Structure 1
Amino acid sequence: MLKMVTFFQGLPGQQSVLGTLDFPGSPQKSRSTSEAEPEASMSEASSEDLMPSQEAGMAPDEAGLAPDGEEEESARKEKKKSKGLANMFSVFTKGKKKKKGQPRLSDPEVQPKSRPELDGPPLTVEELKEALESGRLETAWQVLALERELEAEAAAGRRSHEELVRQQSKVEALYLLLRDQVLGVLRQPLEAAPEKLRQALAVVSQQELEDRRAAGAPVAAVLVATRPRRWLQLWRGSVAEVAAERLDAQPAVTPEGRSEAETRFLHMGCTMREDLEAVVERLKPLFPAEFNVVHTYAESYHAHFAAHLCTLAQFELCERDTYFLLLWVLNLYPNDVLNSPKLAQELQGIRLGSLLPPKQIRLLEAVFLSNEVTNVKLLMNRALELESKHWAQDVAPHSLDGHYHSELAIDIIQIISQGQDKAENITPEVGVQIKQLLLVELAALLRSYQRTFDEFLEKSKLLTNYRANIIANINNCLSFRTFMEQKWQIPQDSLNHMLDPLKDVKAHGFDTLLQSLFSDLKPLFKKFTQTRWATPVETLEEIITTVAIRLPEFSELKDCFQEELMEAIHLHLVKEYIIRLSKRRLILKTEEQQQQLARHILANAEVIQHFCSQNGSTATWLHQALPRLAEIIHLQDSNAIKIEVATYATLYPDFSKGHLSAILAIKGNLLSSEVKSIRNILDINTGVPETSRPLFSLIKVG
């Protein structure tokens, strides 16, 4: 399988996100006119406009009023309430260490605690504005205090409608500043100091609590409803924007030899994996669990990645990009990105789904399979055409380990294997689909190979390297056969059918290689009948010597084919010997003559068997062919002959009455009735074994 790390390493200039997540900052969004107006008008209001009212927030003596027991008690409660708000938001200035595990809003370090220096008098509006613009998030508690005071005053009806509206506009202007500061920190979380990040997170968490509180409390009629503010939702939106910016960024370098789409996939995959790993390692420990930070980033990156690929898939892609798109969607993305060691456990509970819908994937798979099969067919035909040109141009084959060697089988196997591997790299299921298609194309190629080879055998006999190229092509058959048996685990019947063209290539090659040898042996075998078997031992020695001299011509065959070739020679020697016995030119009327011929046949059979076995023949099935015929000639009792004939017929099922009649003709002392009775033994059907090989079917008798 192609591994994703291979592609990742191929992106020079790709910056690691770890250490920077770099969720790079982007310019803050410009505020709308409606947002800007309250801020602009803030300077028009005095700082007291947004201060808690004296009546609501100060003791009577501080406001310059005569002390009264009831009023004094009321003022004390209001003052205590204001101080409580200060305590609530003091968390923004505390540098308390985080406990192990992901914090929650209910955790002690997230809950506000008092800090002495913040218990002083509240900041003026101008001071709050300056503090927020300078990024002092610890002042957020005072903005919330102003909002609550405003709500209390509106509910109590202490101020006029115009004054309340004016005050609310100032509060909202401060909130706009606070929101931009908080979201600015959260937009680049790894660039912020941990304490700053905690402050921003605490502000968002508190705002979510306020949204829930406000949902159950009616808003005064004179105030505009400003809740829910949904800052957590705004943060999620900013994460989606960051994901888009990160994934859409142009790679620093486009690797040579890769298309634009390939480079884009690699960049997006690298960026997503590295960014999410940074989120898991560095942000998750800081973010409260309610933020679901890993899920939020993963879903945002996935959504943008999927949208990009869906758009890309609508266009007509080149073959390479179609393959690479499927490879990413079905293999590299789910296995090497989502299931990478640092992310697999974190993303288990997230059902991100596929980058492309199933229908689109099936369409792309069909296009890929069609493209790949077409390419494989084209490349295989081109390889065969190139090889056949070398034959015609009398180019000598290479020699490898002492055997003639052709590159054709290697080329075809490599082409097929590459097509299969590409499909399996996508998914095992696609690999199964292409396997059946490639088998069809390979079978067609082998048939074309056989036809091309037969044409070469017919037309190129005078070329210098004619025999060498024949041997090289026979050797090819082993490479093809081994590849098909080991690589393609298909039923034996189907495999045998596919191998038939290779069997023909080998058989036709053997026939051509042995043609001149067998021609040389023909006149030698004729001597048996010409001399009326007077010197069978000397004749056979001459035959064996001739074969032995010619055997080195076949040494460039691979060992297994040398054995098969020797088996073919073995069969030829036995067959020709039987043909000479079946010529009906030798009639022996006495028992002594018949027994003498039988002894010659046995001796000759031993010489043939020993020579052929010694030179690699494994045709043990031929060992009984001549000795059993010698026994039929030797026996004199007709019943004994019948038993021997019946046994012989089980060993060689193609032994016919015609062949038997030719052998019995040698026994001139048999009566015609005995010959007929013996021949009738072959009428008994003993069944032809499936593994039987032709011998007597190769011998014609008159």
Structure 2
Amino acid sequence: LLRWVNEYYPGIFQKPELSSEIDCAALGKLLPKELLEPLEEQYLSKQKTDLSDYMNQVLQLEDRKWTSGEEAKREDGCYTSPLAYDIIQGINGMVKAAEKVTGNRQKAQTITHQLPGFMTKYKHLQSVLQVNKQISHIKASLCCVEQFRDVLLGKNHLFPHEVKEECLGLLMDIEQSAHSCLLIPIHKILKPQYKKLGTTDWLRKNGFEKLWRSLEVELLKFQDVPHLGRQELIGRLHQEVTEEYVRRLLRTDVKLKDREQQQRAYTIVTQNAESLNALFSRMGSKQDW
């Protein structure tokens, strides 16, 4: 009934043979407002419930895979998950249908008010994965984050502003948490090399080489992270390693007694910085200072 009232009925008068003869706007709606609005509210309420149920089913399906210990699937060598794609397709189809039925985009968008609640559940389950060190699924989640972010930023017609902003914030939390889970172990591995930075041995022997080699080994382990997620992840590690490098140098108590030592220290720092940037750039970082 709603689709007939809001889509088919107005469409009849847009036909060339009628549009020039009949003023559709003057005719008004087929049903009066007091009858139309309750029907629309009932329809939208049902759509909200259906979308919420659908999203929960998708999440439960993924959760069963996680709890079973099943490894995430790979596509083109990278871990991936169908969760974001399935949710996005569901939202896209239901919002478009609701817009046709109600004839109003803003009303249709209201069915996505369930999305932040879904994201909150997803965030909680991701934290469980991180506690359990289910690395393949954590890497796959970065693919989901990018897919969700792309649709939130690129398809504004699907979401009210407040829904978009809240979801983007939740996605940022999920991404940052996943990054920390993947990067903290690397910093622990690098800690012995960090300790040598800014020391007399570092100045004499340039102990940076071991740090560089360890970094290269660890960075290669991220080749199974989807491209955009990998770029963000490696970019964050690039920033954190650089910050740690600078922090160690600032804390050094090495005395540069003459110009030769000062020049050597300058050369080493310059070479180290160039080597770090070259390594991270080769691995996908877009950080630039």
TM-score range, shorter chain: 0.7 to 0.9
Q: 1:617 to 1:412 in 2, by over 3 A?
A: same
Deviation of 1:499 after TM superposition, in Å, equals: 0.7
Paired position in structure 1 for 2:7: 331
Q: Tell me the distance in 2 between the aligned counterparts of 1:599 and 1:572.
A: 22
User: CA separation in 1, counterparts of 2:161 and 2:284?
Assistant: 27
Q: CA shift at 1:480, angstroms?
A: 0.4
Could you tell me which amino acid in structure 2 is paired with residue 363 of structure 1?
P
* C-alpha contact 2:6 2:101 (8 A) present in aligned 1: yes
Corresponding residue for residue 379 of structure 1: 54
Q: Name 2:121's counterpart in structure 1.
A: 448
SS of 2:202 mapped into structure 1: coil
Alignment pair present for 1:503 and 2:167: no
The answer (yes or no) to whether the contact 1:540–1:604 under 8 Å persists in 2 is: yes
What residue ranges of structure 1 are gaps of 5+ in the alignment?
Answer: 1-324, 622-702
The within-5 A match list for 1:311-330 is 325-330=1-6
Match of 2:223 among 541, 544, 555: 555
Relative distance call for 1:584 and 1:432 in structure 2 (3 A) is same
1:404 and 2:73 are equivalent in the alignment? no
1:362 aligns with 2:37: yes
Residue 552 (structure 1) shift: 2.8
Question: After the TM superposition, which residues 53-202 of structure 1 pair with which residues of structure 2 at under 5 Å, given as runs?
Answer: none
Contact 2:6/2:102 (<8 A) preserved: yes
1:426 aligned onto 2:95:
no
Summarize deviations over 1:288-345 as a string: whole Å, max 9, x none.
xxxxxxxxxxxxxxxxxxxxxxxxxxxxxxxxxxxxx211222123425x6556x736
Are residues 618 and 352 of structure 1, via their aligned partners in 2, closer, same or farther at CA, if it must alter by over 3 Å?
A: closer
- The aligned amino acid for 1:449 is Y
Q: How does the TM-score come out when normalised to structure 1? A: 0.38
User: In the alignment, residue 189 of structure 2 is paired with which amino acid?
Assistant: D
Distance 1:491 1:618, change over 3 A: farther
Amino-acid identity (%): 28
Spell out, residue by residue over 1:602-626, the C-alpha distance to the aligned partner (whole angstroms, 9 max, x if none).
Answer: 22112112222222222112xxxxx
Q: Secondary structure at the match of 1:554?
A: coil
Name 1:394's counterpart in structure 2: 69
Tell me, in whole angstroms, the C-alpha distance in 1 between the residues paired with 2:263 and 2:74.
Answer: 52
- 2:96, 2:108 within 8 Å by CA — same for their partners in 1? no
**Using the alignment, how far apart are the partners of 2:211 and 2:164 within structure 1?**
39
Which shifted more, 550-559 or 487-496? Answer: 487-496
Aligned amino acid, residue 401 of structure 1: D
Query: Deviations 1:417-450 (Å, cap 9, x if unpaired)?
Result: 2221121112432x31131x23432122222211
Q: 1:592 to 1:349 in 2, by over 3 A?
A: closer
* Displacement after TM superposition at 1:531 (Å): 4.8
In the aligned structure 2, how far is the partner of 1:444 from the partner of 1:597?
54
Instruction: Report the equivalent of 2:279.
Output: 611
- Contact 1:528 / 1:536 at 8 angstroms: preserved in 2? no
Which residue is 2:288 aligned to? 620
Trace 1:236-315 onto structure 2 (pairs within 5 A). none
Q: In structure 2, the residue corresponding to 1:620 is in which secondary structure?
A: coil
User: What does residue 53 of structure 1 align with?
Assistant: none
Residues 578 and 352 of structure 1, relative CA distance in 2, 3 Å threshold: closer
Pairing of 1:198-237 with structure 2 (within 5 A)? none
| Counterpart for residue 195 of structure 2 | 526
1:556 is paired with a residue whose SS is coil
Greater RCO (CA < 8 Å, at least 6 residues apart): 2
Q: Counterparts of 1:6-21 in structure 2 under 5 Å? A: none
- Following superposition, the deviation at residue 363 of structure 1 comes to 1.1
Q: 2:111 aligns to what?
A: 438
Aligned-partner SS, 1:526: helix
Q: Which is richer in helix?
A: 2
1: CA distance between counterparts of 2:177 and 2:253? 33
User: Is the contact between residue 404 and residue 472 of structure 1 (CA under 8 Å) also seen in structure 2?
Assistant: yes
CA distance in 2, matches of 1:419, 1:471: 29
Task: Name the CA distance, whole Å, in 2 between partners of 1:366 and 1:512.
Answer: 44
Shift of 1:360: 0.7
User: CA 1:339 to 1:616, structure 2 compared with 1: closer, same or farther past 3 Å?
Assistant: closer
Q: Return closer, same or farther for 1:348/1:413 CA change in 2, 3 Å cut-off.
A: same
Q: In the superposition, relative to structure 1, how do residues 507 and 331 fare at CA in structure 2: closer, same or farther (>3 Å)?
A: same
How does 1:670-681 map onto structure 2 within 5 Å? none
Q: Matches of 1:500 and 1:605 in 2, distance apart? A: 33
Match of 2:130 in 1: 457
When the two chains are superposed, the root-mean-square deviation of aligned CA atoms in Å is: 2.8
Does structure 1 retain, via aligned residues, the 8 Å contact 2:56–2:118?
A: yes
Unaligned runs of 5+ residues in structure 2 are: none
Whole-Å Cα distance in 1 between the matches of residues 199 and 3 of structure 2? 75
What is the rounded CA distance, in whole Å, between the counterparts of 2:168 and 2:179 in structure 1?
17
Deviation at 1:349, TM superposition (A): 7.7
Q: For the residues of structure 1 that align with 2:237 and 2:19, how far apart are their CA atoms?
A: 68
Distance 1:555 1:378, change over 3 A: same
- Rate the CA distance shift 1:546–1:444 in 2: closer, same or farther, 3 A: same
Residue pair 2:129, 2:138 contacting (<8 A) in 1 also: no
How far does residue 352 in structure 1 lie from its aligned partner after superposition?
Answer: 7.1
Q: Does 1:576 align with 2:252?
A: no
SS at match of 2:221: helix
The structural deviation recorded for 1:588 is 3.0
2:196 aligned partner, one-letter code: K
Alpha-carbon spacing, 1:588–1:555, altered in 2? closer, same or farther (3 Å): same
AA partner of residue 371 (structure 1): K
